[in-house]
Structure 1
Amino acid sequence: MPVYYFSLVWVSVWGIISNITSKQVKISNEIYENRSRLLIAIIAILPIIIFAGCRSSVADTAVYINGFENYPNNLSLVYNMIFDGSRRDPGFLFISVLIKQFISTDYTVWLSIIAVISGLGVMIPLYKYSCNFGISIFLFVASCQFTWMFNGMRQFLVASIIFGCTGLILRKKFIPYVIIVCLLSTIHTSALILLPAYFIVTGEPWDKRTILFICLIILAMLFTSKFTGLLEDAVENTNYASSMEEFKSADDGTNPIRILVESVPIIIAFVYRNKIKDKLTPIIKLSINMSLVASGLYIISKIARSGIMLGRLPIYFSMYNLILLPWLIKNIFNKEEKRLVYYLMIVLYIAFFYYQMVITWKGFGYASKVLGLAY
């Protein structure tokens, strides 16, 4: 736990520094928001990248390391493995072998490269789009989303790259977006869910597509067994099926407290929708829709205790809460209310951090041979 406590304190301190040193930028006509300095943003995320890259034993890390050490270190030997139809991660294998052949056979270097890509994939959109980078980076750690860099890194590598490509969605660059998603699906096939999701999240908040999605969530809740069975039939003969098998074995439904925590932004956005409707910017519209999809998937994953387990899919959407929540607090509440809401948010998220890391995950043990740490 010390490395995780350190990470929480570090992002809190540098989050404060980020706000003190922030600069005003013009978002659109007559709309200005504060943005963090790039150097401060990098410093804030740096320890998490270092701890993730230097780990030797956290959750599923040993499995990944064993896989990397068994990969060939020559591209000429990997052709048949990459094009083996039964393999679910040919893209991940290809990247790993590239690193192993041309950079280093040391797994720490490999983990560090992936940690850098994942960390920057989170940091850059927060730096570009968050009206309060300090709160956003705090939420990234306090909500425990940062643990994806230590456990489930293959899927989070995909999620962070997609998050980093937010600009493509905002500019409605559909073809480049599809190409990137298809390429990333070779790293983790669950990325394919982002293709149909594109048509939901690019609409106006609370429009017909949104209402349709909400109706689908309700129907899925009412007819869970038939819904999950339908999805199983749909993916049975596709590469996505192998990824779903992974969910079945690893996911038994999402913790209700996690659902509540991740649903707070979309609940606030809905309750105050009339108050904020004239203030919405493109990134906030997208973030509201992304948050809605994340909450819907979390709810379904809790109910669908058999069949396809959806508990890992929301990570593709829930990171937009890191942008949405600070914006909602800034634009909904007056000065006195805002101060109270910030204090309440910080206390509750720290409590959730403790609950998730200590009580639920029993400390989420960490070990690093490079750093000489073992907890």
Structure 2
Amino acid sequence: MTSKYVLILVWIGIAAVIFSQEGMQQPENICGKTEYRYRFLWAFLVFLPVIWMVGTRGNIGDTWVYKETFKSMPQAIGAIPHYISTVKKDKGFYLLSAVIKVLFGGNTVRYCFILALIQGFCIVKVYRKYSINYILSIFLFLISSDYISWMFNGIRQFTAVAIAFIGIKYLLDDDWIRFIIIILLAATMHQSALILIPFAIIAKGYAWNKKTIFFILLALVVVLFVGRFTNILNSALAETQYKNVVSDWKEFNDNGTSPLRVLVYAAPTAISYLGRKIIWEKDNKLINICVNMSIISTGLYIISMFTSGIFIGRLPIYFSLYNYILLPWEIENLFTQRSKKIIYIGLIACYIVFYYYQMHIIWQIF
């Protein structure tokens, strides 16, 4: 029987044909320019099988932990305040979960499906509007194995990531008040979302600006002096909910993020550097932010490769999602018409190899 993890990719290929028909797109204003984008209904239908698959996934990763926690939550609305008072961190996520139980019952499959629906809504909302090739962006999100890493696992953090992702609108509009409100809301789901506030300042401005170059150099310095970095990090986190991070990754014998994964996620950054002059000439506000977010993602991944994949390696997801807006744009704008076909074929082939390696050899899912 063909694995559902393969069939979901086949579906994206079929969707690319089905949803290429006339009448499925509408004009929208993107950073002051009229662009054609899928209507939300069609874009959501493309992603719906992923949401269904995630909601009915079984106990992959840490899903069973979330299910057991959900089972222990009160089902009466009046009992929620006392329950939340016992929660020590990320109260927003547990409040959301408790409300889901009150409104929809204690079925754990339904619970996972609703969380996937919330996450999927945010992903679809952003990629539908800001990607020049929505289908390719969704394909990249899937074939990079991000949907397994995050929608099947790390659910609490990815709920924060997804909510924070819709803040891109306010970042583009320079509406810092609303952007920070979105990030603070996301931080109630997972406190790590706060990292976006200082890094958003770095991401603003033209692509490959001095702030991003400084960050990459800083990442390299951290790698060279990784011992001192872990000591500083341990002291900095001493009074936070992440105070045991350094000791935990050492105890778990965490050898850091796989170099292959770092290479895959760094590809859009490398392409943007090679095509930086064209990017500067076009001066697209959206792409400038996506390039800088990609640079930040790469810098964090480099650090995680020499420290911890479990802890530091979880931070780049706040930034790497922008890669799937950036990469389709790079292919369409940085390559000649003749070379695009070769690039597309090479891109798909390389990602398929990575997907097989990650899913079959590393995770042994199929």
Question: Among residues 194, 203, 206, which one is paired with 2:205 in the alignment?
Answer: 203
Q: C-alpha distance in 2, partners of 1:97/1:326?
A: 39
The C-alpha deviation readout for 1:184-240, integer Å capped at 9, x for no partner, is 222112112112112111222122211221221121111111112212211210234
User: 2:246 and 2:16 mapped to 1: Cα distance?
Assistant: 37
Taking the aligned partners of 1:153 and 1:250, their CA distance within structure 2 comes to 23
The one-letter amino acid paired with 1:113 is I
Residue 128 of structure 1 aligns with an amino acid whose one-letter code is: K
Partner of 2:260: 257
Shift of 1:123: 1.1
Instruction: Give the equivalent residue in structure 2 for 1:12.
Output: 13
Could you give the per-residue CA deviations for residues 56-104 of structure 1, whole angstroms, max 9, x where no partner exists? Answer: 32121111111100112234334344234x7122111111111111222
Of the candidates 59, 63, 66, which is equivalent to residue 65 of structure 2? 63
Correspondence for 1:287: 290
Most deviating of 75-84 and 110-119: 75-84
- Cα 1:75–1:37 change in 2 (3 A) is closer
Tell me the amino acid that sits aligned with residue 205 of structure 1: A
Question: Is contact 1:291-1:317 (8 Å) kept?
Answer: yes
Report deviation, 1:252. 3.8
* From 71, 74, 77, the counterpart of 1:72: 74
Greater RCO, 1 or 2 (C-alpha within 8 Å, sep 6+): 1
**Structure 1 residue ranges without an equivalent (≥5):** 365-375
Identity score, percent:
38
Partner of 1:110: 111
1:156 aligns with 2:158: yes
Match of 2:142 in 1: 141
More moved, 332-341 vs 200-209: 200-209
Query: Matched residues in 2 for 1:159 and 1:18: separation?
Result: 28
Does 254-263 or 270-279 show the bigger shift? Answer: 270-279
Instruction: Report deviation, 1:127.
Output: 0.4
Structure 2 residue identity aligned to 1:116? L
Q: Distance in 2 between matches of 1:71 and 1:244?
A: 31
For the residue of structure 1 that corresponds to 2:157, the secondary structure is helix
Aligned pairs (5 A) from 1:63-102: 63-84=65-86, 87-102=88-103
Supply the distance in 1 between the matched residues of 2:172 and 2:97 (Cα, whole angstroms): 31
Q: Is the 8 A contact 2:75 2:105 kept in 1?
A: no
Query: Deviations 1:231-255 (Å, cap 9, x if unpaired)?
Result: 2211210234367777675954111
> Which of 208, 223, 234 is residue 221 of structure 1 equivalent to?
223
- 1:42-61 alpha-carbon deviations (Å, 9 max, x no partner): 12101110011122321211
Aligned partners of 2:73 and 2:98 also within 8 Å: yes
Q: Partners of 1:132 and 1:295 in 2: how far apart?
A: 23
* Gapped regions of structure 2 (runs ≥ 5): none
Structure 2 match to 1:302 = 305
Whole-Å separation in 1 of the counterparts to 2:348 and 2:98: 42
Taking structure 1 as the reference length, the TM-score comes to 0.89
Provide the secondary structure at the position in 2 that maps to 1:35.
Answer: strand
Aligned residue type for 1:266: T
Q: Using a 3 Å threshold, how does the CA distance of structure 1 residues 343 and 227 change in structure 2: closer, same or farther?
A: same
For 1:274 and 1:345, the matched residues in 2 are separated by 22
One-letter code aligned to 2:94: L
Question: 2: CA distance between counterparts of 1:30 and 1:290?
Answer: 21
Tell me the residue number matched to 1:341.
343
* In 2: Cα distance, 1:193 partner to 1:29 partner: 25
Amino acid at match of 1:188: H
Q: Is the 8 A contact 2:208 2:291 kept in 1?
A: no
Q: Which amino acid aligns with 2:165?
A: F
1: CA distance, partners of 2:140 / 2:110: 28
User: 1:251–1:114: structure 2 CA closer, same or farther, 3 Å change rule?
Assistant: farther
- The aligned amino acid for 2:46 is A
Q: Provide the alpha-carbon RMSD of the alignment.
A: 2.4
- Measured in 1, the distance between the counterparts of 2:189 and 2:212 equals 29
User: 1:190 — aligned with what?
Assistant: 192
Inter-partner Cα distance in structure 1 for 2:32 and 2:204: 24
Amino acid at match of 2:134: F
Write the letter of the residue equivalent to 1:302. Answer: M
How big is the shift at 1:183? 2.6
Q: Could you tell me how far apart the structure 2 residues matched to 1:325 and 1:168 are?
A: 22
Under a length normalisation based on structure 2, what TM-score does the superposition of the two structures give? 0.91
Q: Give the letter aligned to residue 146 of structure 2.
A: Q
CA contact (8 A) 2:31 2:172 kept: no
Counterpart position of 2:43: 41
Aligned-partner SS, 1:298? helix
Q: Determine if contact 1:34/1:132 at 8 Å carries over to the other structure.
A: no
How far did residue 26 of structure 1 move? 6.5
The 1:30/1:204 distance shift into structure 2, 3 A limit, reads closer
